[in-house]
Amino acid sequence: MAITARSSKGSGVAADINVTPMIDVMLVLLIIFMIVTPAITAGFQATIPRANNPESREEAEGEIRLGIDKDGKFYLDITGPNGKYTGPRFISDADLPGQLTALYAQRTVDKILFLKADEGIDFGRVQQAIEIARKAGVRVIGAIAEQQRQIRAGEH
């Protein structure tokens, strides 16, 4: 409670709430959350899919696929503007950012890249590919996995 000087008629006690301590606590909490929030979102947790594919589908027209082989080399796989499938073509590390930037600069709606990597490569190489793609304007990256084989009864 705050004490104020009043005239001789009233008592010296006022019923006003002092909100200064509450504002101090709120500002401290705000600063703590501003510092902690970027640290929480900095780590990226990902689990590589190892289950059965929920659905099998063919490549659609206009999809862009980036492959990484067992040696860590990049292969760009696009469907041409005429609808013809070009097949995977080797692309150097130096040419990949420029090529992806050129491809995604033309797109207005779907900026999706499908990524297919060999299971034996270092994950750092996959991370590098994702960073290059993000800088090139890719909004969504989809992982392509092979259909897991089912072992039937009687097979070994």
Q: What is the pLDDT of residues 52-67, one digit of tens each?
A: 655 666 666 677 888 8
Mean pLDDT computed over 81-101: 81
Determine the pLDDT at residue 79: 65
Q: Is 90 helix (H, G, I), strand (E, B) or coil?
A: strand
CB-based contacts of 77, cutoff 8 Å, min separation 6: 64, 65, 66, 67, 86, 87, 88, 89
CB-based contacts of 145, cutoff 8 Å, min separation 6: 49, 50, 53
| 134's tokens | 């993000």
Query: Confidence band (pLDDT; 50, 70, 90) for 47?
Result: very low
Whole-Å CA distances, 128 to 5, 84, 139 = 69, 29, 16
Task: Return mean pLDDT, the chain.
Answer: 76
Q: Using CA atoms, how far apart are residues 81 and 84, in angstroms rounded to an integer? A: 7
pTM: 0.56
Percent of the chain topping pLDDT 90: 15
Query: Confidence band (pLDDT; 50, 70, 90) for 68?
Result: confident
Q: Cα 16 to the chain's mean position, in Å?
A: 50
